[in-house]
Chain A
Amino acid sequence: MSQPKVPVWVNLALIPFINIMLAFLVSALVILAIGENPIEAAGYLVYGAFGYEEGIGYTLYYATNLIFTGLAVSIAFKAGIFNIGGEGQAYIGGLGVGLACLAFDQTMPFYVIVPLAIIGGAAFGAAWAYIPAYLSARRGSHVVITTIMFNFIASSLMVYLMVNWLKQEGRMSPNSRTFEESAWLPYMHEMLAAIGINIEQSPLNASFLWALICCVLIWGLIWHTRWGYQLRTVGTNATAAIYAGIDNGKVTIWVMLISGALAGFVGLNEIMGVQHSLLLNFTAGFGFAGIAVSLMGRNHPVGIILAAILFGALYQGGSELAFEIPSITPEIVVVIQGLVILFSGALEHMCKDRVEAFFTRTSAA
Chain B
Amino acid sequence: MNNTTSPYAIELRDISKRFGAVQANKDICLQVPAGTVHGIIGENGAGKSTLMSIIYGFYEADSGDIEVGGELVNIRTSEDAIRFGIGMVHQHFMLVENFTVLENVVLGAEGGAMLKGGLDAARKELKRLEQEYNLDVDVDAVVEDLPVGLQQRVEILKALYRGAKILILDEPTGVLTPQEADHLFRILQSLKEQGVTVMIITHKLREIMASTDNVSVMRQGQMVAHRVTAETDKEELAELMVGKKVRLVVDKEEAKPTNVALSAKNLSWFDEQGVKRLKDVSLELKAGEIVGIAGVSGNGQSELLNALSGITPLSGGEIHFNGEVITAKNKKNASQMRDLKMAHVPEDRHKMGLVTGFEAYEAAILGYHNSEAYNGKILLDRKAMLDECNERMQKWDVRPADPFLKTANFSGGNQQKIVIAREVEQNPDVLLIGQPTRGVDIGAIENIHEEIVKLRDSGKAILLVSVELDEIMALSDRIIVMFDGAVVGEIDAKDADERTLGLMMANALNEEEKAGGQA
* Residue ranges of A at the interface with B (Cβ–Cβ < 8 Å): 1-2, 220, 224-226, 229-230, 232-233, 236-237, 239-240, 242-247
B177: A residues at CB distance < 8 A:
none
The one of B334, B344, B358, B409 that contacts A232, using a Cβ cutoff of 8 Å: B358
CB distance from A204 to the nearest CB of B (A): 31
B353 at the binding interface (Cβ < 8 Å)? yes
The total number of A-B Cβ pairs within 8 Å is 69
B194 at the binding interface (Cβ < 8 Å)? no
CB distance from A238 to the nearest CB of B (A): 10
A232: B residues at CB distance < 8 A:
355, 357-358
B311 at the binding interface (Cβ < 8 Å)? yes
The answer to whether B380 and A229 touch across the interface, beta carbons within 8 angstroms, is yes
The answer to whether B380 and A226 touch across the interface, beta carbons within 8 angstroms, is yes
A244: B residues at CB distance < 8 A:
334-335, 366-367, 369
B380: A residues at CB distance < 8 A:
224-226, 229
The one of A2, A225, A230, A243 that contacts B311, using a Cβ cutoff of 8 Å: A243
CB distance from B183 to the nearest CB of A (A): 38
**A246 CA to B369 CA in the complex, in Å?**
10
The one of A1, A220, A226 that contacts B370, using a Cβ cutoff of 8 Å: A226
Chain B, range 1-51, C-beta contacts under 8 Å to A: 20
CB distance from A42 to the nearest CB of B (A): 39
B245 at the binding interface (Cβ < 8 Å)? no
A229 and B369 in contact, given A236-B357, A245-B335, A245-B338 (Cβ under 8 angstroms): yes
A224: B residues at CB distance < 8 A:
379-380, 382
The answer to whether B335 and A246 touch across the interface, beta carbons within 8 angstroms, is yes
The one of A225, A226, A237 that contacts B355, using a Cβ cutoff of 8 Å: A237
A237 and B369 in contact, given A243-B346, A245-B338, A247-B333 (Cβ under 8 angstroms): no
B20: A residues at CB distance < 8 A:
2
B370: A residues at CB distance < 8 A:
226
**A13 CA to B375 CA in the complex, in Å?**
34
- The 6 lowest CB-CB distance pairs between A and B, nearest first, are A245-B335, A245-B334, A244-B367, A243-B352, A237-B355, A236-B357
B354 at the binding interface (Cβ < 8 Å)? yes
A to B CB contacts below 8 Å, 15 in the list: A1-B409, A2-B20, A224-B379, A226-B374, A236-B355, A237-B351, A239-B352, A240-B353, A240-B354, A240-B355, A243-B309, A243-B353, A243-B366, A244-B366, A247-B333
A2: B residues at CB distance < 8 A:
20
Chain B, range 184-209, C-beta contacts under 8 Å to A: none
B246 at the binding interface (Cβ < 8 Å)? no
CB distance from A187 to the nearest CB of B (A): 33
A226-B380, A229-B362 given; 13 more Cβ-contact pairs under 8 Å? A225-B380, A229-B380, A232-B355, A232-B357, A233-B366, A236-B357, A239-B351, A240-B366, A243-B344, A245-B334, A245-B367, A246-B335, A247-B333
**A78 CA to B379 CA in the complex, in Å?**
18
Chain B, range 301-315, C-beta contacts under 8 Å to A: 309-311
The one of B336, B337, B338, B378 that contacts A225, using a Cβ cutoff of 8 Å: B378
* Residue ranges of B at the interface with A (Cβ–Cβ < 8 Å): 20, 309-311, 333-338, 344, 346, 351-358, 362, 365-367, 369-370, 374-375, 378-380, 382, 409
B382: A residues at CB distance < 8 A:
224
**A21 CA to B299 CA in the complex, in Å?**
56
**A236 CA to B357 CA in the complex, in Å?**
7
A-side interface mostly? helix
CB distance from A234 to the nearest CB of B (A): 10
CB distance from B474 to the nearest CB of A (A): 27
Q: Kindly report which residue of chain A lies nearest to residue B20, judged by CB atoms.
A: A2
Q: Kindly report which residue of chain A lies nearest to residue B351, judged by CB atoms.
A: A239
Q: Kindly report which residue of chain B lies nearest to residue A243, judged by CB atoms.
A: B352
CB distance from A244 to the nearest CB of B (A): 4
**A3 CA to B336 CA in the complex, in Å?**
38
**A207 CA to B409 CA in the complex, in Å?**
42
B338: A residues at CB distance < 8 A:
245
The answer to whether B369 and A226 touch across the interface, beta carbons within 8 angstroms, is yes
A225: B residues at CB distance < 8 A:
378-380
B356: A residues at CB distance < 8 A:
236-237
**A224 CA to B355 CA in the complex, in Å?**
17
**A247 CA to B354 CA in the complex, in Å?**
17
**A242 CA to B370 CA in the complex, in Å?**
14
**A55 CA to B14 CA in the complex, in Å?**
72
A243: B residues at CB distance < 8 A:
309, 311, 334, 344, 346, 352-353, 366-367
B351: A residues at CB distance < 8 A:
237, 239-240
The one of A1, A226, A236, A237 that contacts B375, using a Cβ cutoff of 8 Å: A226
Q: Kindly report which residue of chain A lies nearest to residue B21, judged by CB atoms.
A: A2
Best-surrounded residue of A1, A225, A240 (most CB of chain B within 10 A): A240
**A239 CA to B334 CA in the complex, in Å?**
12
**A2 CA to B378 CA in the complex, in Å?**
38
**A232 CA to B366 CA in the complex, in Å?**
11
A1: B residues at CB distance < 8 A:
409
CB distance from B88 to the nearest CB of A (A): 29
**A100 CA to B369 CA in the complex, in Å?**
38
A233: B residues at CB distance < 8 A:
355, 358, 366
CB distance from A96 to the nearest CB of B (A): 26
Best-surrounded residue of A232, A243, A246 (most CB of chain B within 10 A): A243
